[in-house]
């Protein structure tokens, strides 16, 4: 029986595990608890053309428009075509999405979609309920929580396992026939982000240290509407709020998106830049919810978060927002089966760059990608020949290990790798990073130190890729272009 190690507990890794568990020994490693993942925080739903009046071609066209035609056409067709059957399979397996009184699905509308096609669960809690549902299906999987994976083990034949810190902080190894990187994105590079506290670019850093190819690292999506109070972020305000009738204004009640064809449902990169310009001009930015009936019923999770931070939205119908880091379009380069440049190593979810998101992800395509490509990764592993056992190598170590403070890294990244970039700023960031050592790990490292080193590796990859693209494209905006 093949053994498969999956790094990450979110929807992508869980979907792969679901389709592997009958035929393989599956072990899921997660550095905190299984609930610590971006999938659990996803407020938006899952986009799929399952309504009889919808078509995969329309979904495909919307995805390419949002991605500024930078998408991989083949991978994107796989996403929108397989997404229909994979969503239907999820529903037939018992996953409950929101329906109206007549029992029909309630399709939501979000930015850059030509029509409502987004399924939600419990209003704004889709990611949580879909991920928990998938976790419940994993009856034949071994979970190893509180285990920080620190290195990939590789031989001439490819990836043969992992090195990790166990819950007591001791260094251990584990071998497998295949390893799947499903560790999420890198949002914690930035001080304002929707990402879980554990999302520190681990999958991409593991790949970089092992010499595995990355792609499109310049494309970081900044969500326009994070609940922000006195300069601090307190979670996401879903795009579905704008889909339900919310609109963006400044303190003078001037509508900020009125001049754009899709107005408040323009692609995220467009909205994020407009709001950033408003902030730079000294304005405050709010999301008006005055035209949304039954806001509290439709958005219970957002309502609870607003109440927790004493936002007087019932009195003034306003939510204070600003853009922040949300999703990584780039990542570990894969083919349409999730295979990376290293044999026996796969990547899926936000860690991976399948090419489906192009230069800017279409709203609610990320959970769909987890389902479609999680299943395809499992199929590829099942079809691959079993590898003979090989000696376990030891990853290289170093005695030189110097890291910046996390807040310092985040401030630099926000200023120089953020919503607007310049060649001079990117060069300055890379020059600043050269003062530190973060590529190889010392013998006595801690999980916290590994996270910080991984953030540096991921930030370096963003800066290098952004410097190589002198023109603006999608989420990558060069103010000197």
User: What amino acid positions are annotated as catalytic residues?
Assistant: 268
The number of angstroms, rounded, from the C-alpha of 169 to the middle of its chain's C-alpha atoms is 27
Nearest by Cα to 174 from 201, 203, 144, 200: 144
Q: What are phi and psi of 395, to 5 degrees?
A: -60, 150
Nearest by Cα to 356 from 58, 65, 86, 64: 64
Q: E strand or H helix at 211, and its extent?
A: none
Give me the DSSP letters along 269-315: HHHHHHHHHHHHTT--EEEE-TT-TTHHHH-HHHHHHHHHTT--HHH
Nearest by Cα to 453 from 403, 399, 414, 411: 403
Phi-psi region of 334 (alpha: psi -120 to 50; beta: other; left: phi over 0): beta
Under 8 Å between Cβ of 359 and 70: yes
Q: E strand or H helix at 144, and its extent?
A: strand 141-144
Token reading at 480: 């000197």
Give me the DSSP letters along 145-206: -S-EEEEEEEETTEEEEEEEE-TTS-EEEEE-SEEEE-----GGGSSSB-S-TT-SSHHHHH
């Amino acid at each position: 029986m093949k053994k498969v190690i999956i790094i990450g507990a979110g929807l992508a890794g869980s979907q792969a595990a679901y389709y592997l568990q009958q035929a393989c020994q599956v072990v899921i490693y997660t550095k905190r608890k299984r609930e610590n993942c971006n999938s659990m925080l996803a407020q938006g739903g899952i986009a799929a053309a399952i309504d009889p009046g919808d078509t995969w071609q329309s979904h495909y066209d919307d995805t390419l428009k949002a991605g500024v035609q930078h998408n991989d056409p083949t991978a994107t067709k796989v996403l929108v075509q397989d997404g229909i059957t994979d969503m239907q399979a999820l529903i037939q397996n018992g996953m409950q999405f929101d329906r109206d009184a007549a029992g029909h699905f309630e399709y939501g509308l979000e930015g850059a979609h030509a029509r409502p096609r987004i399924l939600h669960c419990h209003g704004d809690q889709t990611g949580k309920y879909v991920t928990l549902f998938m976790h419940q299906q994993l009856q034949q999987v071994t979970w190893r929580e509180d285990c920080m994976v620190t290195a990939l083990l590789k031989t001439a034949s490819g990836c043969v396992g992992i090195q990790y810190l166990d819950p007591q902080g001791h260094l251990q190894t584990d071998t497998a026939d295949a390893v799947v990187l499903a560790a999420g994105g890198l949002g914690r590079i930035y001080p304002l982000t929707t990402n879980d506290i554990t999302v520190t670019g681990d999958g991409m850093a593991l790949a970089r240290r092992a010499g595995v190819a990355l792609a499109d690292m310049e494309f970081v999506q900044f969500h326009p509407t994070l609940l922000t109070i006195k300069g601090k972020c307190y979670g996401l305000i879903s795009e579905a709020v704008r889909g339900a009738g919310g609109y963006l204004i400044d303190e003078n009640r001037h509508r900020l998106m009125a001049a754009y064809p899709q107005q408040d449902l323009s692609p995220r990169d467009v909205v994020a830049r407009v709001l950033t310009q408003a902030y730079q001009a000294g304005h405050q930015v709010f999301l008006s919810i005055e035209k949304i009936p039954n806001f509290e019923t439709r958005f219970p999770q957002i309502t609870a978060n607003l109440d927790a931070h004493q936002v007087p939205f019932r009195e003034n119908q306003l939510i204070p927002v600003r853009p922040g880091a949300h999703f990584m379009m780039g990542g570990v380069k894969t083919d349409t089966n999730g295979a990376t440049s290293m044999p026996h190593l796969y990547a899926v979810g936000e860690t991976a760059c399948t090419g489906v998101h192009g230069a800017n992800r279409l709203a609610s395509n990320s959970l769909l990608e987890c389902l479609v490509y999680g299943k395809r990764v499992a199929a590829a592993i099942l079809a691959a020949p079993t590898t003979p056992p090989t000696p376990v190598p030891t990853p290289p170590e170093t005695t030189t290990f110097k890291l910046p403070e996390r807040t310092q890294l985040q401030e630099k990244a926000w200023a120089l790798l953020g919503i607007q970039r310049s060649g001079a700023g990117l060069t300055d960031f890379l020059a600043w990073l050269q003062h530190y050592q973060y590529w190889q790990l010392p013998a006595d490292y801690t999980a916290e130190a590994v996270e910080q080193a991984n953030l540096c590796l991921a930030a370096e990859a963003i800066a290098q890729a952004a410097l190589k693209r002198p023109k603006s494209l999608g989420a990558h905006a060069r103010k000197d272009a």
